[in-house]
């Protein structure tokens, strides 16, 4: 019957981890014109949102901020009320 591995224990290796990183293959360097052409190719893939999408997203953010502020105001008020009453009991 096989023995179960103990979690948290790592097997001991003879070589340090630094030697493994040194054996990694090196990437060829990219020339500047090739790099610029790759950047332009990636830039052409960008899709910008329309004015309508930007407007709708902005309105949704403002609504969520308003809801969050109301929620935290109510929670803060309730906790202040509770802490005042608890501290009043001790007096």
The DSSP output letter for 24 is S
Which H or E run includes 58?
Answer: helix 51-89
pTM: 0.51
Structure tokens at 55: 């407007």
The DSSP output letter for 15 is S
> Confidence band (pLDDT; 50, 70, 90) for 25?
confident
Proportion of the chain in helix, strand, coil states, percent, rounded to 5: 65, 0, 35
Closest CA to 59 of 69, 51, 70: 51
Q: Which residue has the tokens 């997203």?
A: 57
Digit-coded pLDDT (tens) for 50-83: 999 999 999 999 999 999 999 999 999 999 999 9
Q: Calculate mean pLDDT across residues 35-45.
A: 95
Is the pLDDT assigned to residue 4 strictly greater than 90? no
């Amino acid at each position: 019957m096989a023995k179960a591995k103990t979690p948290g224990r790592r097997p001991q290796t003879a070589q340090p981890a630094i030697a493994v990183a040194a054996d990694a293959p090196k990437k060829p360097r990219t020339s500047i014109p090739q790099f610029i052409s790759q950047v332009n190719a990636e830039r052409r893939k960008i899709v910008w949102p329309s004015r309508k999408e930007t407007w709708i997203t902005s309105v949704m953010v403002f609504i969520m901020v308003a809801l969050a502020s109301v929620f935290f105001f109510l929670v803060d008020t309730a906790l202040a009320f509770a802490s005042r009453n608890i501290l009043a009991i001790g007096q």
